[in-house]
Structure 1
Amino acid sequence: MKKILISLLLCFSLPLMASDFEKEQRWKDQIADFLIDGEPLMLEVDGHEIFAIYTEADENPKKRGMIVIHGIGAHPDWSQVVQPVRVEMTQYGWDTLSIQMPVLANGVDGHQYRPIFKEVAPRIEAGILALQENGIKEIVLVSHSMGSAMSTYYIANNPNTVISNFVAIGLSDASLVGKVQLPMLDLYGSEDLPSVLNTVKAREKAANSANNKYYKQVVVPGAGHFFEGKNEILIDEINAWLK
């Protein structure tokens, strides 16, 4: 009985990891009313309203949609990688939906995000539904940094997802790449973070071991983790691969 009681006390003493919804609200308050491209869209997820940005293509005859996932501690209109992708890809016939992912307090180590990965799937599924309600037929997923780890986790654990193609930008975690059976573009910069560069071979090996014939790894010369000054190349690589 004592052992059981101690175990229960330990369980209740551990913090329950969950997204910082107050921080998410602050991001929304700072962004929603000042958008130049796109419109705010609230997704209903497990009793919470999750902020997203919907940007329509001028022309979208193929009814294609792109879900965009940001990196650690960021938001759906992050100026690096996320905003360029969600805005510029509309010129190539894609409606884009950039979704707020779970966030933790500032300064939290990336490894501490793992417990809240369980919150990712409902948000992506809500995004899929929103796109489908707007008549979208084909849906792809484009992610950056921690968002790529979250997206890999989602795809690995949801093999029947309607997502047709997956672009992972600046992915460092190779552990679940072998469980991704979708066409996957693994895109990174030659000057990327050490955590990304150190797992290049491991990611490729995992995909090859899983016999994913539609996995492709592309390095952008001179690009850092946030593709500063390389947005045009970033968009070109994504667009070329999705054609």
Structure 2
Amino acid sequence: MFPLNRKTLPALCLSLILPCTLHAADGETPEPAKETQPAPVQRQALNERSLDDALALERQVPKEEQQTLQAGSESFLALWKPANSGDPEGALIILPGAGETADWPKAVGPLRRKFPDTGWHSLSLSLPDLQADSPQPRVETPAKPAEAATEGQQAPAKDTPADANASVEQATAAEGESVDNGGQAKTPEAKSNADAERIFARLDAAVAYAQQQNARSVVLLGHGTGAYWAARYLNERQPAQVQKLVMVEAQTPATAEQGLATLAPGLKLPTADFYYNQPLARKAAEQRLQASKRLKGSNYHQVALTAMPGNRSAEQENLYRRVRGWLSPSQDD
């Protein structure tokens, strides 16, 4: 090792430090990577409750009573029981109400099982979930990136996701509205019309199936809000194959623009309105009856029923006898 004196030591240190300083000065500080805002994540929609109900019915109802019908691009479950007669009177197509199944224990199930013994085919339908009753879809909005920490420094540019506009529509849709696949908000009227198209397609399929069974006549029976959809179907489509309408405990959906007092009394075919003599039901029934009296030549009829709390079996038997008596007066006893 060479000896260093006091004169050469500073020069040596300077020669070692200077290249490092120059290298640092010549280099450029890399810019922070641009932050990209991830696209909002929309939670996957759950299966329709009606599909789960149909799967449960497939496990509970005998296979020979199950029929899969086609309505447009979707198939659905219907419960079929042929008439126990060599000369059937016709087919009774039953529409359950909101939240009910094709074998609902009140009205729907008992009527579909009892009518085949008096010469009527029965076909009870599964209806789809209603868009008008569905909640607004939820969209998960990602957290905003951190703002620039240094004053005067602009935040890095962000890439705009391709579906940003759709996300804004989803996030700002008014309460009571949903959005379609294009991100456009649906009004209650648009949702009701979309529900009607799906239900009408199922009714078309049911009527066609009844015709294939050589039914001499076809009767629609709606329970609860099913009565509204049956009346609306007959009002808008006016199918020649359907001869009568039966409404049991009729209800108008909360989102409907037209009520049953407008739809039912004006139908051209015979219509029977069975209601239980209770305050709210009686008031709604009175409105329907008054509307029918204002129409010349109305085919609308009302039948008041007596509720039997604590004795559902007797109540359902009474309902069956009253409906059967209106459809086939000669069998009334």
Both structures adopt the same fold (TM-score exceeding 0.5): yes
Q: Please classify the TM superposition score into its range, dividing by the shorter chain length.
A: 0.7 to 0.9
- Alignment partner of 2:114 out of 88, 104, 114: 88
Identity between Structure 1 and Structure 2 (%): 20
Q: Distance in 1 between matches of 2:98 and 2:313?
A: 17
Shift of 1:134: 1.7
> Corresponding residue for 2:123?
97
Aligned counterparts of 2:275 and 2:282: Cα–Cα separation in 1 = 8
Q: How far is the alpha carbon of 1:103 from its aligned partner?
A: 1.9
**1:56 aligned to 57, 74, 82, which one?**
82
* Match of residue 190, structure 1, among 274, 277, 280: 277
- The CA distance in 1 between the partners of 2:105 and 2:64, in whole Å, is 14
Matches within 5 A, 1:143-162: 143-162=222-241
Query: Which residue of the other structure, out of 100, 107, 122, is the alignment partner of 2:201?
Result: 122
Cα RMSD after superposing both structures: 2.7
Structure 1 unaligned segments of length 5 or more: list them. Answer: 1-19
Aligned to 2:52: 26
Q: Distance in 1 between matches of 2:226 and 2:308?
A: 18
Question: Please, which moves more after superposition, 73-82 or 233-242?
Answer: 73-82
The answer to whether the 8 Å contact 1:182/1:212 transfers is no
Structure 2: state its 5+ residue gaps.
Answer: 1-45, 136-175, 177-187, 252-259, 329-333
Task: Give the 3-state SS of the residue equivalent to 2:319 in structure 1.
Answer: helix
Residue in 2 aligned with 1:41? Answer: 67
In 2, the alpha carbon distance for the partners of 1:36 and 1:234 equals 25
CA drift at 1:177: 1.7
Distance in 2 between the 1:21 and 1:92 partners?
A: 38
Q: 1:142 aligns with which of 208, 221, 226?
A: 221
Change (3 A) 1:37 1:89: farther
> Is 1:143–1:169's contact at 8 Å kept on the other side of the alignment?
yes
Shift of 1:46: 1.5
Pick one of 244, 265, 282 that aligns with 1:165: 244
The total of aligned residue pairs comes to: 219
Q: Give the structure 2 partner of residue 176 of structure 1.
A: 263
- Shift in alpha-carbon separation, 1:129–1:21, aligned structure 2, 3 A: farther
Native 8 Å contact 1:170 1:189 kept in 2: yes
Q: Which is further off, 166-175 or 233-242?
A: 166-175
Instruction: Provide the C-alpha distance between the structure 1 equivalents of 2:313 and 2:237, rounded to a whole number of angstroms.
Output: 33
* Distance apart, 1:60 and its partner CA: 4.6
Would you say the 8 A contact 1:183–1:212 is kept in 2? no
Greater strand fraction, Structure 1 or Structure 2:
1
Q: What amino acid sits opposite 1:114 in the alignment?
A: S
The residue number in structure 2 matching 1:240 is: 325
Deviation at 1:151, TM superposition (A): 0.6
Q: TM-score, normalised by structure 2?
A: 0.60
Aligned letter for 1:48?
Answer: E
CA offsets per residue over residues 167-187 of structure 1, 9 Å max, x none?
A: 001113322123311101100
Deviates more, 1:215-224 or 1:47-56: 215-224
Is the contact between residue 69 and residue 77 of structure 2 (CA under 8 Å) also seen in structure 1? yes
1:141-163 Cα offsets, whole Å, 9 max, x none, are 11100100111111111224311
1:215-226 maps to which residues of 2 (within 5 A)? 215-222=300-307
SS of residue paired to 2:229: helix
- Following superposition, the deviation at residue 197 of structure 1 comes to 2.6
Between 55-64 and 74-83, report the one with greater CA deviation.
55-64
Give the AA of the match of 1:166: L
Residue 206 of structure 1 and its aligned partner are, at CA, apart by 2.1
> CA offsets per residue over residues 100-137 of structure 1, 9 Å max, x none?
112248x769x967341232211111001111112222
Opposite residue 214 of structure 1, the aligned amino acid is N
Q: Are 2:261 and 2:287, in contact at CA under 8 Å, matched by a contact in 1?
A: yes
Letter in 2 for 1:188: Y
What is the TM-score of this pair, normalised by structure 1?
0.81
SS at match of 2:242: coil
Which of 201, 210, 220 aligns to 2:286? It is 201
Q: Which residue of 1 aligns with 2:149?
A: none
Decide whether aligned partners of structure 1 residues 229 and 37 sit closer, same or farther in structure 2, where only a CA change above 3 A counts.
farther
Q: Which amino acid aligns with 1:240?
A: G
